[in-house]
Structure 1
Amino acid sequence: TTTNSGDFANPWATYPGGNPFPYARLSRFPNFSDYYFVPNFNASSPQVHTWNISIQRQIPASFLLSASYVGNQAVHTWVGGYTNRAVYFPGTAVNGSCTAQGYVLQTTGTCSTTANTNQRRQLALQNPTDGQLYGNLFTREDVGTQHYHGLLLSIQRRAANGGTVGANYTWSHCVGIDPTANNTGRGGPGYLDPNNRRFDYGNCNTVDRRQIFNVTGVVPSPRFQGAVLGKLASGWQLGGIFRAATGDFMTIVTGLDRALNGQPGAAASPTSAATGQRPNQILANPYGDRNSTTNYLNPNAFAQPALGTFGNMAPFSIEGPGYWQLDMALARIFQIRESRKLEFRAEAFNVTNRFMPMDPNVNLNANTFGQITTSGNARVMQFALRYAF
């Protein structure tokens, strides 16, 4: 949120240069500006296929057991792509020239640096006069896929006095090529290797939690005798939700444009598989102390890839911290008259006020790499009183 100190009489008082309207258009786009390609009008529509099978069994004491298999497949989801990438020229210039992939770059010293990224773009190398007008060219392609398979086990019991209890356990896995573009075909990162989309094939983003366990219950208070005790202590309901889950999966990023291909956002975005270039994993165990906040990941397990190359790590291949949480609620409706009632409700989230670590820093180039610096919400309590008439 941006707040200016101006008022309605002079809203642009603190804006640099004063009132920006009417806006003066540039006579031409700046050199090496980013453009969007028109989407492929022959692209297939995204499709989701689902299938499941379930078995239920009633057992004594009013328990209901069920076991279900759930599967789905998403195909033709939109994935971001980039063309006009910078060509990597290895080594140093010979007689003022560097050569690679059939291209020639006129320069001195080191052939490829972040400073000459735009001069190494394909269109600039093919036609320097017109090519200098174009930076990254963004494309959106219908090549994304995701596959989900899950086993769901559950048990439920509904008591005659109104109490209920239930528990369920999910064991699942989701893999695919991350569908990074939004429904307009824009707004998503691109896959890293233009010649190998499956280089970005890996676990699904935050939805791939391998194990999830939930327990829910509602217990009514007994009916007490007596005028005062019956009115004050009867009619309450106590409910609770316990949830435990394994961690989501993270992508380790280099924090640097090691491929020197000029892909936007390629340096350090931990939230998407394809935006951040990924390092090499050089130790079998990438973790430090998974109970620690300062050494969750072992920095020595990773190394920056050689210039002009991609690392060997897959996207979303590192599991973050798991968690468990207990939430509870207490509620009652007081009947005042036939058409009037007062409802009281108290809720507490994270009742135990347990520290819940979030994912660690995944930028290999950061000083806090592998450290957990954020946590989930502490205990939150809220109360509500509602009068209905």
Structure 2
Amino acid sequence: MFASNCSGCNTAWAKTFYDNFSPRIGFAFSPGSSGKTAIRGGYSLFYGPLFYSDFGNNMNAGYTASPNPVSQNGFSPAFNLSGGFPAYPAPPTLDPAIRNNQSVDYITPGFGKPPMIQSWSFQVQQQLAPDLILSLAYVGNKTQNLRSAAAVGMYNNYPLQDLSLGANVLTAPVGSAAATAAGIMAPYPGFVGAVGNALRKYPQYRRFNTDCCLENDGMSDFDALEVQLSRRFRNGLNLQLSYTWSKTLTDADSLLPGQNAGGGLYQNPYDLYQEKSVSSQDIPQMLVLSYIYQLPLGKGHRFFQHGIANAVLGGWQIGAIQRYQSGQPLPFYCASNSFSPGWDDCFRFNPVPGQSVYVPRGTGYNPLNTPYLNNAFFADPNPNPGAPLVFGQLSRVTGYRMQPYFNEDVNISKRFLFTETMYLEFRADAFNIANRHIFAQPYNLNPAPNNAFTNFGFVNSTVDTPRGVQLQATFSF
């Protein structure tokens, strides 16, 4: 973008798109005459917001000036107001070399295209019995033009074919014997830097900042089978059982590199298809059971309707919400010592055959002195600096997961009726009644296979809370 009338310049942050058509369509019908079956479906297309808050004042190069007159001898004034303000070049300055040897920011012309989300569903509902309904549904969505950090690598990295030079050559200074032997020369007079930096697309810049590349090349896919069994409140029982089997794939887990552990780091930004993996938020299996049951005891019920038995045994109700789901997938940081000048992205680890990613845990597992993850599972894909650089085999977010999440919240209550509209209710809620401990991801997901004293793989927190009991009394009138 240029605030000028130069040839080929524009004065917009990004191109504006006027084709954000957002249709929605749905249908529902009940085949046959029983009215016990319903079939529904729908499709929608909508758009997400754009984020323009990244660059701050980084786009002012060439359009601001901060003159700083200096005294010629250290004693005389830098200038006298009676002689007027010293002359200085007024912006804009369109010299293409103005940011040489400095970091720059960049907005791709297509950044103005917002994320596009397509969503669809198909559901069949069947009444199995009075107040009991079974639902089967397929739900999916596809998102394009997601904000991602891929462009950082495309502008900061040398071409893929130059990986074959190896780390020794790529880290050698331009002009050295290693660089000369490889046929690498300075890209322009006065260049100072390593071979890797000289081979980049724009060697005159130190780098494109990590918040530089306002681009939206990311995508995600979500597909799910949803099964639900529902019973409306009848004969003292209300119940809902839900099961979801799903998968979320994406190449844009994070807006910026380095976020979400290794999940925000690309290995090959030139081929985003290879960066597609399960999302860091992928939970493939989830089962949720919730219910309320009024015991058939006391006035208005089948048993113990009168006297002391009614007062003691009547009015009791129990309920619970039980959740069981897969663990969170694990991303890992880059392999140690695999970065080189001119390569801004990741070289991921290789798995070591015969090693498990998890440390065996017995019944007496203590997270204070035993890691959750096995450091010996990981191997640097480039242990030899003289050999060509190669990418690691682990995916951006791996299929390895933390332990499953299990939780049960239970409540019990008793109601004392005084009149038709006046009653006193006592209630006890027990959260995480089994007092399970579900570990959070380790605080250090950066393997160091050659360091026996690393703190990689240790956990220091949980994703749930200890068992808690809450008591309450309510008087209603």
When the two structures are superposed, what TM-score results if normalisation uses the length of structure 2?
0.59
User: Which residue of structure 1 aligns with residue 227 of structure 2?
Assistant: 153
**Matching residue of 1:63:** 132
CA contact (8 A) 1:279 1:303 kept: yes
Partner of 1:90, secondary structure, is: helix
User: What's the offset of the Cα at 1:222?
Assistant: 3.4
Q: Which amino acid aligns with 2:412?
A: L
1:314 Cα deviation after fit: 0.9
Unaligned stretches of 5+ in structure 2?
1-64, 69-97, 299-304
Note if 1:196 corresponds to 2:278.
no
2:286 and 2:325 in contact (8 A); partners too: yes
Q: How does 1:1-389 map to 2 (within 5 A)?
A: 35-38=104-107, 40=109, 43-60=112-129, 62-80=131-149, 81-82=151-152, 84-85=155-156, 90-91=167-168, 93=172, 96=176, 98=179, 104=186, 122=200, 126-127=203-204, 131=205, 138-181=212-255, 189=264, 191-206=266-281, 208-224=282-298, 225-226=305-306, 230=310, 233-254=313-334, 256=336, 258-261=338-341, 277-283=347-353, 286-289=356-359, 291=361, 294=370, 296-306=372-382, 308-317=389-398, 318-331=400-413, 344-360=426-442, 361-365=444-448, 367-375=454-462, 376-386=464-474
Q: CA separation of 1:244/1:31 partners in 2, compared to 1, >3 Å: closer, same or farther?
A: farther
**SS of the counterpart of 1:82?**
helix
Percent of counterpart pairs with the same letter?
21
Which whole-Å CA distance do the structure 1 matches of 2:432 and 2:343 have between them?
42
For residue 373 of structure 1, report the CA deviation from its aligned partner: 3.9
Q: 1:34 to 1:101 in 2, by over 3 A?
A: farther
Asked if the contact 1:140–1:181 (Cα under 8 Å) also holds between the matched residues in 2, the reply is no
Instruction: Specify whether residues 262 and 243 from structure 1 end up closer, same or farther in structure 2 by C-alpha distance, changes over 3 A only.
Output: farther
Shift of 1:195: 1.5
Distance 1:101 1:235 in 2: 88
1:217 CA drift (Å)? 1.2
Question: 1:246 is aligned with what amino acid?
Answer: S
Change (3 A) 1:302 1:388: same
Q: CA deviation at 1:230?
A: 4.0
Structure 1 residues 168, 135: CA separation in 2 closer, same or farther (over 3 Å shift)?
closer
- Distance in 1 of aligned mates of 2:327 and 2:216: 29
1:267-287 residue CA offsets vs partner (Å, 9 max, x unmatched): xxxxxxxxx652122327643
Deviation track 1:332-386 (CA, whole Å, cap 9, x = no partner) reads 5666788876554432221011222333453212723344443332212233445
1:218 CA displacement: 0.6
How far off its partner does 1:239 sit? Answer: 1.0
CA shift in 2, pair 1:227/1:315, >3 Å: same
Q: Secondary structure at the match of 2:376?
A: helix
State the Cα deviation string for residues 203-247 of structure 1 (Å, max 9, x = none).
0111x1221112111111334244666456533431111211122
User: 88-97 vs 230-239, which deviates more?
Assistant: 88-97
1:161 CA drift (Å) = 2.8
Specify the structure having the higher radius of gyration (Cα).
2
SS at 2:216's partner residue?
A: strand
2: CA distance, partners of 1:137 / 1:168: 41
1:311 maps to amino acid: G
Amino acid at match of 2:446: N
Shift of the 262–344 alpha-carbon distance from structure 1 to 2, 3 Å rule, reads farther
Structure 2: distance between partners of 1:96 and 1:203: 44
Q: What is the total number of aligned residue pairs between the two structures?
A: 339
Is the CA contact 1:96–1:107 (under 8 Å) kept in the aligned structure 2? no
Q: Deviations over 1:274-317 (max 9, x none)?
A: xx652122327643456566465443332112165432211221
